[in-house]
Amino acid sequence: MEFRECDLTGARLIGVVMQDAVIDGLVTNLVVNGVEVTGYVEAELDRRRPVRVLIRSEDPADLREAARQLQTCWAATIERIRRTPGIERRSVHDEWSAVQTMRHLVFVHDSWFRRCCLGSTERFTPMGIGPEVEPYRGAHGLDLSLDPTLDEVVRVRAAQVAELRAWLDEVTAAQLAAPAPVPDDDVWPPYARGRSVRQCLRTVLNETFEHHGFCVRDLDLIEAQDAG
C-alpha cells in the first residue's frame, strides 16, 4: 500500500499493525502510541545534517555557509553521476531521475529566488520542471518537450548558483526580513505573497537540500540494484 502526494492531515490509525513502514514528507504533531515524536525526529535530522540549522538561521553569514555547503554536496554528487554515464536518466519508485531533479532546482531558483527574492518578472528557464498542477505546469516559459543533457542542466545550475552566491555576499539581515517583492500576477508560486525575503530564500535552500537527499538516496538504490 502506498500513499503518494496526498494530504493525510488528521488521519487516525487505530489498532493497526504497522511494520517496515516509511513516512516521507511534511510531518508535524505525529503521535505514535501516545508519544509526540516529531521533535525527536527533527532533532535527529539536525544532528545528522547540521546544515539544516544553518538554513533556518536569520544570520546572513549562516545562510551563506548553508549555500556553500549545499553547493559542495551537489558538486560531489554530479561527479559521482558522471562516473556512471546514463545513470542520470534512471529513476526508481516513480521518482525523478537525477537530471530531472536538477531541472526542478532550475525552476525553484527562477520562481522562489529570482521572482520572490528579486521581484523578477522574466519568464522561467524553459528546461525547468515545475509543479504538476494546472495552470502552472507548462506556464511562464516552461517547455515540457525539452530533454536537456546533464551538461546542459549543470551549466544552467552553475550560473544560478553563482547568482545566488553573489546576492548572498551582499544581502543584509534587514533586507532578508523585508516583505518579499513578489510580482502581482498569476505566476508560480501563488502563495508567496506576504512572506519575507528570508522565508522565500529558505524555500530555495530547503529544496536544494531535500532534493539532494532524494537524489543520493535513489543513486544508492540504483547502484545497489546493479551490484546485485
Q: Hey, what's the cell of 140?
A: 511562464
Residue 223 falls inside a structural domain:
yes
Residue 35 falls inside a structural domain:
no
**Residue 80 and residue 219 in contact, taking contact as beta carbons nearer than 8 Å:** yes
β-pairing, 35-36 vs 31-32, is: antiparallel
Q: What is the pTM of this model?
A: 0.92
pLDDT tens profile 40-62: 999 999 999 999 999 999 999 99
Residue 29 falls inside a structural domain:
no
Domain at 155, CATH number = 1.20.120.450
Residue 48 falls inside a structural domain:
no
Q: Hey, what's the cell of 111?
A: 520562481
Residue 210 falls inside a structural domain:
yes
The total domain count for the chain is 1
Residue 142 falls inside a structural domain:
yes
Domain that holds residue 182: 58-227
Residue 148 falls inside a structural domain:
yes
Report CA Rg, the chain: 19
- pLDDT tens digits for the chain (228 residues)? 888 878 999 999 999 999 998 898 888 999 999 999 999 999 999 999 999 999 999 999 999 999 999 999 999 999 999 999 999 999 999 999 999 999 999 999 999 999 999 999 999 999 999 988 878 888 899 999 999 999 999 999 999 999 999 999 999 999 999 999 999 999 999 999 999 999 999 999 999 999 999 999 999 999 999 997
Closest C-alpha among 52, 83, 56 to residue 69: 52
**Residue 201 and residue 88 in contact, taking contact as beta carbons nearer than 8 Å:** no
